[in-house]
């Protein structure tokens, strides 16, 4: 269903897959999970409600000087082989994602499918995210 690594416009991204007993029926289920674990870890969780704001990500997590920008997607296809082709992106989202990973910002893509949640990003971002949120 998910690959171990993805090449996203020339940037190598790692993928960590979490498996749950419940199913992610929609993208908002991923939001709820992220809110639960981030607030438990002391992060301020902010869901960006506006649509099509030049590709700005869905979620911002803030704690002191630490931050994470998170874009959440639901995978409708059977497998995720290409980040740019297999997901539904809104205007500006791919450009924002490419710019974020090129600048090595703390950006992660969270993709849910069935009972799995894939967290995709640069290795250092995924390590910081995992250590911060304890997932």
Please tell me the total count of domains within the chain. Answer: 1
Question: Taking all residues of the chain, what is their mean pLDDT, rounded to a whole number?
Answer: 95
Residue range of the domain that includes 31? 5-133
**pLDDT over 90 at 17, yes or no:** yes
Which residues lie below 8 Å from residue 121, measured CB to CB, with a gap of 6+? 13, 14, 101, 107, 108, 109, 129
The CATH number of whichever domain residue 93 belongs to comes to 3.40.1350.10
Give the predicted TM-score (pTM) of the model. 0.94
How sure is the predictor about 48, in pLDDT bands with cuts at 50, 70 and 90? confident
Is the pLDDT assigned to residue 52 strictly greater than 70? no
């Amino acid at each position: 269903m998910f690959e171990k690594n993805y090449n996203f416009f020339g940037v190598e991204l790692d993928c960590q897959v979490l498996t749950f007993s419940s199913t992610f029926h929609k993208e908002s289920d991923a939001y709820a999970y992220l809110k639960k674990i981030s607030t438990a870890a002391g992060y301020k969780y902010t869901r960006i409600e506006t649509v099509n704001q030049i590709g700005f990500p869905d979620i911002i997590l803030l704690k002191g000087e630490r931050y994470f920008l998170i874009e959440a997607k639901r995978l409708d296809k059977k497998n995720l082989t290409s980040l740019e082709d297999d997901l539904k992106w809104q205007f500006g989202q791919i450009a924002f994602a490419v710019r974020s990973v090129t600048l090595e910002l703390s950006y992660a893509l969270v993709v849910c499918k069935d009972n799995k949640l894939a967290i995709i990003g640069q290795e250092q971002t995924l390590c910081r995210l995992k250590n911060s949120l304890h997932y």
